[in-house]
A and B are shown apart, each in its own frame.
Chain A
């Protein structure tokens, strides 16, 4: 009796698994067998897609592998998503192996486009040269690195770059907030920072620390920015930094500290990042394209499409679009490659 029930149940589960697999298999077939059908809605969509280019005269196909910075990923993903609506046969897989990881593949000629949240290093440029690869750097958007404290923090009104250096460097020797400004409480400084592998860390260290060394003792490092958000929000005497998008989404628990880079304290906002008044922590986001790959029409079209839509799409995913002149410059660079 009991074994019968188990047998029945077993059959049921097996059947469920089979149906599930079969259902998924069907989906694939549908896609593979009915390209005409899947093109139809895509064509209608392209009318709504934020693009200035007209309907493609030639039907583009092929694959454009992109890899690199996880910071630039959301922008490239958004562009790839819109590009697919116009050119459904061009496959654009986007990976996130970090700026350094993407550069390694790019300079070895494995991928035509690499996302980067920092300019290419000399060593990477040499690797590309050794492999006979010529490349072009294209700027896509701005990100304002935001220095943040908890909403519960009531004493920090702004920080100068020198004070940032003192807070974050070993050489600054600051233990308590009173070491930074005498009127601040003698509470310990608790730091939250992105991990040393990230482009965000590299950029912050370069701008704020210059030749000094980043503190490691008592610092919470995390590759996951959401961990940093939670950490800073729950620590009244904590401080941290990360991309503007993470601050923008968490304004109810975090305060962005206005930064004085020599011309008065400026808080990171969409406008101050866009017009360049939020310095020196505004950074550019890039991608690098292999010049030889621009001969492939789908790559050339994708790169152009990227720049034409970068401003709007960057804004949608939490970054800041550049002024139109800057995009015009990028387009000129691209045209020169053809």
Chain B
């Protein structure tokens, strides 16, 4: 008896063709991104590799491309990170713990939740304007390092809260129950059971948020980062600049030498970003093994 009628064979062949072609479409979709990224990287490296020199780290900006460096931008970005990471960690994880562990599950909590998720998608320039109104004008912190760092903290806060919430939510209910069964209080449960297990996820979120902040330009320009800064900030209220601002300035100049210098600066920025991301991966792997 012929189990496979001709019609069935045809159907099967059709499905296989469909499967094959979808396979190709998805492969194409993946390669578009990868090819674009590769072209971008190769282009940047060709333009910028030869200019990579210690001068870029030790010199202040200059009108002469051969003397110009981005010491002030590098240090400015680093200071912003030094303020942003601890501050956004404390505020972000605190908010996540409250929302996940303490907050009553009612309409208000759901509204807050919705707002935070929305805030995570708000364009960065809006945070810049908020920072200008709140920190620079209302709190009269002036156009200073601290204004810039606080604005960036606001910018990444929703991202960290969402990431930390996901991580906390992923801790099995049974762990909490076990802890409560031993007579632990809520805080004991959170601090000794929930947080340690969710830490890898939280830290990954924090580092990814930091790497977003380090590449942001628009909000910093609005809160008053200067473009030419030939000194390092010595206090929180000093004027400052940051790497992306320096890069944007160099790229938009007419002289080719500055464009190449911009490419070199981009390589350094990318290297720092990759370093941050590798750190995130390593932290995740390390702690996940221990649990």
Interface residues in chain B, defined as those with a beta carbon under 8 Å from any beta carbon in chain A? 58, 61-63, 71, 74-75, 78, 143, 221, 224-232, 234, 239, 241, 249, 251-256, 259, 275, 278-279, 282-283, 285-286, 289
Contact = CB atoms under 8 A, between A and B. Distances in A.
Contacts of A96: 221, 227, 249
Contacts of A78: 63
Given A6-B282, A10-B282, A81-B230, A24 B78 contact: yes
Contact of B254 (A21, A84, A97, A249): A249
Given A24-B75, A78-B63, A97 B221 contact: yes
Contact of A28 (B62, B232, B285, B289): B232
Nearest to A63: B239
A336 interface: no
A184 interface: no
Contacts of A95: 143, 224-228
Of A96, A229, A245, most B-chain CB atoms within 10 Å: A96
A17 B275 contact: yes
B79 to A, nearest CB: 9
Contacts of B282: 6, 9-10, 13
A94 B241 CA distance: 10
Contacts of A97: 221, 224
30 contacts: A3-B286, A6-B285, A6-B289, A7-B286, A9-B282, A16-B275, A17-B275, A17-B279, A24-B74, A24-B75, A27-B58, A27-B71, A65-B226, A67-B226, A76-B228, A77-B61, A77-B228, A81-B61, A84-B230, A91-B231, A94-B226, A94-B227, A94-B229, A95-B224, A95-B227, A95-B228, A96-B221, A224-B252, A225-B252, A318-B255
Contacts of A21: 78
A262 to B, nearest CB: 30
Interface in A66-108: 67, 70, 73-74, 76-78, 80-81, 84, 91-97
How many of chain A's residues touch chain B, expressed as a range? Answer: 35 or more
Interface of A: 3, 6-7, 9-10, 13-14, 16-17, 21, 24, 27-28, 31-32, 63, 65, 67, 70, 73-74, 76-78, 80-81, 84, 91-97, 110, 224-226, 229, 243, 245-246, 248-250, 313, 316-318
A302 to B, nearest CB: 13
Contacts of A80: 228, 230
A91 B239 contact: yes
B226 A250 contact: no
Nearest to B240: A93
Of A32, A81, A110, A243, most B-chain CB atoms within 10 Å: A81
Contact of A13 (B61, B63, B226, B275): B275
Nearest to B286: A10
Contacts of B254: 225-226, 229, 243, 245-246, 248-250, 318
